[in-house]
Structure 1
């Protein structure tokens, strides 16, 4: 029997949603399906919870022909009662007899009976939690604007967690917890880096009771116990306080608050949080809450609408105070239509604790990642290569033209503390056609234009001046065969260097094969870091692809082949792997390596095509000079004059 993957289970959950779609809204059917999934999971993995007889799956199945909806109610009530406080009030408002017809309840029970969630039938031990994460994303898509109230895209969470870099023993809080993705993401990050679970103290709060229930269930599926989740309005009444009534401080805060809510000053407890000022819009009030609840050496990452970066009035004064106190570490602009429920471009604000643990990095790092997105069907998203580039740039505190820049507090002050990312980092401008008058008149490509692209061509083994006939020191002429014919020669000329580059890739795969097979599956980032470092070290010298292109290819490949690498590791370390598993091991390895090689070939082909496009653009600009056009005009005129005379007509100018 084939083991079930996260993708398999996600598909199964979404097919359950199809049974209810159109009969209730997304929030309702996600609640129903989550409850039935919990019953199946608890019964199949009975050590996770105490499962009384009425909640056992075989008991539920026996009731499908009599009263399946009542059986589900009885099972959920019994499971909740036996697992207080873990499940206490988790589904207090769910009544299957009101939500489902007899037939619908029966169909859902049969549907979930068709899949096993027993550990021995799952490909990996995290299949259920990963599948539930993906299902929540699909439910958020279906919920439309409401989806943004409880779900942050997984790729954004991964980026925020990488920026925050939580460590074992730290406390992590999400004051607008939604479905709990920030907390599960932080837990997974630390578990993968240490090989141990339960190393973080997790805290969360959300104003919506149903969303809090989803977060608790999400944490449960992730096998996270002991997290403190509270239901309430974080701005109006933060509930995580110390025994003496003071606000609790956290080492890491990760949050995606609702955008631009309206608050009145008298509604807000712990008014000392708003030390930089008050505003009717909630965006910078949430930022101030994070600053007020960060530990002295803490770090916070907050999602905000980009309008909060430049709106005037009270918000400008709040920004002034935050920047002057050196509490802002980075501003990262994210492209549009990434978040559920809004197409508004957002940003990430990276905030420092009072001690400014990173204050040696004077100034603020601005990253313009508005183009670091992939266009999707209904939303855009951050691919692994985008997350890799942004996170690597932040941690290296690096300036990259048209992408990132470190800006002094003085410069920000001279701009009235406007934090608009584009003010400091313009994205790469569209290529403008710079025309050389001498070349337009007499022909030939300016040598300076060609020299500017020399390294790009040399990376592919092409001396770009060999593609021209030398004419004079400042101009290069196209060969007699024409620029189109010469452009067609570029791919064959590049073939040798491309083959050498691909040989480097194969050599790297061969040398790192043992590391890819024998890494500790509990500490994936360690293996990932080692493999990426050696990947860059081996391939960067070829200069065909730059550091970010190579890092992006690797990041996309690792994410795409994540489960295959884990399966390879499982089989490779198995003490009793038989002949069939050995063959499977070899085939998985082949597929993993073929996938990476194909990705490399694709991006190399794109770079080669850019060379062809560059050469053709020179031809389009300078392939025909004004003198050539004049000569052609004179030749055409002479032929026309001769023809008219032969027909007995005078040339107009001769009349």
Structure 2
């Protein structure tokens, strides 16, 4: 069975749980990532005879498994990992975590159990079938860990990680041609854990030759491991302070590279510590301020680019507008034409700081002929993700599309001519709000409408995209007011939702959108049916997503990026895992039910199982079945519709029997009621208690009403029990039929169930929700305007006078003088 992303994430985070408490995230990440590394290279060595990583005797993950439960497990893990490090020149890279540290891992038995459990978690992960070159499963898992570690490490210790979404945007902005040879170089002078470099290399079909430098020793080790885990074993990542001691140079001259990416620490106040030579970095520029290193890093990056080189750099917004020496440097950089684009990002994206940052795209090719700088204000496009903000797929794609296609988008992006930037009134101040007004239009209260009635046409004109999509709707909802520039609501305010959603234009729009989605899905059906072991999931979803975007770009009203987001959300939530299962074993194998896995044990050493779709029996011996690709409801809907309808009838029958029982008991189980003497000391009733009281009541010659009530409640109990039993038996029978159906499905059956019933129906429904949400926005705005302008000030004054008169009359009637 192929390894699913969600299962891998769950296992990796459970490994962190084993360590959490004894140390903070900035420390326990070293243990988790080291074991991930050892497990991956050990599995890869088994399946890939050409693996560049040598796994020596005594240094494999299997050797760690043999240590489980041993008293000296920590010491022996250190020895095994040291052997692996020595065999691959990785000393100081993978053997930094001390697995024999009682202060972090506990003493004696506590350490023994913790490390044994930790190894056991990784033991259940199988990377032998993982194709690192064909999928980003392992890379995404590493990013998942790094993101969570950065979140938990806090502001001061989370700077080792650049959010993957930002990294992907930067990689796309470099526009690396598809035929770029692997010998082409990419450099990151402050590479952190290496995520930026890897994303750029992944964006080049043939890969790139990777160079990087990192000051922090522990983070440098993370970067080295990260490179190997992503198949970049031939990287050149060096340790040291880039500004004080750049490692990539020939004597006094810095090496130059084809591409560059960087996310340097913001506004470093100690950048001059150890700084002796500028190696030509400041030629033609004043020296950057002593207490702020932003421009020192930027000038280093410009110097490190070849004459045709291109780079993308993350820096705080202050570099765009700060004065004094920085303003002089900025003017010179602008005049030389090195800045191709600037993208303003949302605040609170990065783990080292909450301030907003920007991406500066550098391009030396034809710099002197640069006509302007393309600017993007992407500060408002994000979603909340725990304590941080995060770019959504739609935000990323919109940024990249705007930049690469030079699309002017109102309040979002425009090409700013160099003449405008150099104009004395701007004087090379690059603060984005100077050039792009991204503020939402003010919702103005119209005093004339409040005084004299009517809807301001200005408010209705803002809704023009809706009127273009629904040409007759405005005249249906409004007619002309007596005053020019105002309209009158033509329908009752309460009818607005029904008129909008029920209009033929709205219905046609929804149906047309659904038809477009079906058309897109059918056009890509061959690619979906062709999923096999050679499929690259990232390439598949890119193909689907780009086709969807292209189809909806011409659709009025509907934002194509909103539609794209619906697809990508489902991909990340479920569809990627499904594709992974299929390419791992084919359609037939992927659909087969499997036994639920044990996820742990409770304090009584009883096993805990993962959630199962079908369960037969109870307790530890119950049959628990998991259907990863096609949950049972899809099988039932396709093959057992009649059985499900019968089950629904039995569900209703049981609910009815239970309701009738509850109502009867509630009516008669009151103090002094007909069933009161049958209840226990807590006032509760059961079939046994009712039967026992009936026997006594008959012996005592009780009243007929009590006997009848007892007989009736016993019948209700029997009816409920029979209904429950019938439902249980029918459920078991349907579940057995469903379980058996998986074994007889053909590949064509599976494809239809997955592509049509699961993926297709879900995506169609999600995009329909996007349309409904869009229409609901119109309804909400119209109701808001109707509420605002429905009554004039005069109407309100008359209403107040009328109510005051009623109050005065009531007071007079009560003998109170007003």
Distance 1:334 1:540, change over 3 A: closer
Paired residues of 2:134 and 2:535 also in contact (CA < 8 A): no
- Residue 94 (structure 2) pairs with residue 91 (structure 1): yes
> Which residue is equivalent to 1:304?
315
> Which residue is equivalent to 1:253?
260
Among candidates 365, 382, 389, match of residue 373 of structure 1: 382
| 1:391 to partner: Cα distance | 0.8
Per-residue displacement from partner, 1:44-77 (whole Å, max 9, x unpaired)? Answer: 2224332222123333333333321122122112
Among candidates 160, 165, 178, match of residue 155 of structure 1: 165
Among candidates 145, 148, 152, match of residue 135 of structure 1: 145
Aligned 1:110-189 pairs, distance under 5 A: 110-119=120-129, 126-167=136-177, 168-169=180-181, 170-189=184-203
- Residue 414 (structure 2) pairs with residue 405 (structure 1): yes
Among candidates 449, 469, 486, match of residue 496 of structure 2: 486
Paired residues of 1:251 and 1:295 also in contact (CA < 8 A): yes
C-alpha separation in 2, matches of 1:622 and 1:269 = 70
Greater alpha carbon shift after TM alignment, 337-346 vs 635-644: 635-644
Among candidates 592, 598, 601, match of residue 765 of structure 2: 598
Query: Structure 2-normalised TM-score?
Result: 0.71
C-alpha separation in 1, matches of 2:151 and 2:129 = 30
C-alpha separation in 2, matches of 1:107 and 1:564 = 26
> Which residue is equivalent to 1:206?
214
| 1:643 to partner: Cα distance | 8.9
Paired residues of 1:435 and 1:621 also in contact (CA < 8 A): no
Paired residues of 1:304 and 1:346 also in contact (CA < 8 A): yes
Distance 1:595 1:286, change over 3 A: farther
Among candidates 539, 559, 562, match of residue 549 of structure 1: 562
Paired residues of 1:39 and 1:75 also in contact (CA < 8 A): no
| 1:371 to partner: Cα distance | 0.5
Among candidates 460, 463, 483, match of residue 473 of structure 2: 463
Paired residues of 2:171 and 2:199 also in contact (CA < 8 A): yes
| 1:430 to partner: Cα distance | 4.7
Distance 1:617 1:628, change over 3 A: same
| 1:386 to partner: Cα distance | 0.7
> Which residue is equivalent to 1:616?
783
> Which residue is equivalent to 1:427?
438
> Which residue is equivalent to 1:78?
83
Greater alpha carbon shift after TM alignment, 219-228 vs 532-541: 532-541
Paired residues of 1:5 and 1:122 also in contact (CA < 8 A): no
| 1:338 to partner: Cα distance | 0.6
Query: Structure 1-normalised TM-score?
Result: 0.88
Paired residues of 1:488 and 1:612 also in contact (CA < 8 A): no
Distance 1:223 1:646, change over 3 A: closer
- Residue 56 (structure 2) pairs with residue 58 (structure 1): no
C-alpha separation in 2, matches of 1:634 and 1:6 = 68
Among candidates 61, 74, 77, match of residue 69 of structure 1: 74
C-alpha separation in 2, matches of 1:641 and 1:27 = 72
Secondary structure of the corresponding residue to residue 254 of structure 2 = coil
Distance 1:33 1:294, change over 3 A: same
Distance 1:440 1:111, change over 3 A: closer
Secondary structure of the corresponding residue to residue 381 of structure 2 = coil
C-alpha separation in 1, matches of 2:453 and 2:28 = 69
Per-residue displacement from partner, 1:535-572 (whole Å, max 9, x unpaired)? Answer: 24433444130344344445545555662574487389
Provide structure 1 residue ranges, at least 5 long, that are not aligned to the other structure.
none
Paired residues of 1:436 and 1:446 also in contact (CA < 8 A): no
Greater alpha carbon shift after TM alignment, 281-290 vs 535-544: 535-544
Secondary structure of the corresponding residue to residue 257 of structure 1 = coil
Aligned 1:171-570 pairs, distance under 5 A: 171-190=185-204, 194=205, 196=206, 199-242=207-250, 246-261=253-268, 262-264=270-272, 267-275=275-283, 276-278=285-287, 279-280=289-290, 281-353=292-364, 355-356=366-367, 362-413=371-422, 414=424, 415-435=426-446, 437=448, 439-460=449-470, 462-472=472-482, 474=484, 475-479=486-490, 482-493=492-503, 494-518=506-530, 530-560=543-573, 563-564=576-577, 566-567=579-580, 570=583
Paired residues of 1:56 and 1:75 also in contact (CA < 8 A): yes
| 1:88 to partner: Cα distance | 3.7
Q: What is the Cα-based RMSD across aligned positions, in Å? A: 3.3
Distance 1:268 1:483, change over 3 A: farther
C-alpha separation in 2, matches of 1:535 and 1:324 = 41
C-alpha separation in 2, matches of 1:258 and 1:629 = 59
Provide structure 2 residue ranges, at least 5 long, that are not aligned to the other structure.
106-110, 591-743
C-alpha separation in 2, matches of 1:268 and 1:402 = 45
Paired residues of 1:236 and 1:269 also in contact (CA < 8 A): yes
Per-residue displacement from partner, 1:222-253 (whole Å, max 9, x unpaired)? Answer: 111211111011111111124x6531111111
Distance 1:647 1:296, change over 3 A: same
Per-residue displacement from partner, 1:456-510 (whole Å, max 9, x unpaired)? Answer: 144246521211244447342223x632333443222223421232222122212
C-alpha separation in 1, matches of 2:570 and 2:369 = 35
Secondary structure of the corresponding residue to residue 405 of structure 1 = strand
C-alpha separation in 1, matches of 2:238 and 2:412 = 39
Distance 1:644 1:381, change over 3 A: closer
Secondary structure of the corresponding residue to residue 371 of structure 1 = coil
C-alpha separation in 1, matches of 2:345 and 2:467 = 33
| 1:440 to partner: Cα distance | 3.3
User: How many residues matched?
Assistant: 637
Larger radius of gyration: 2
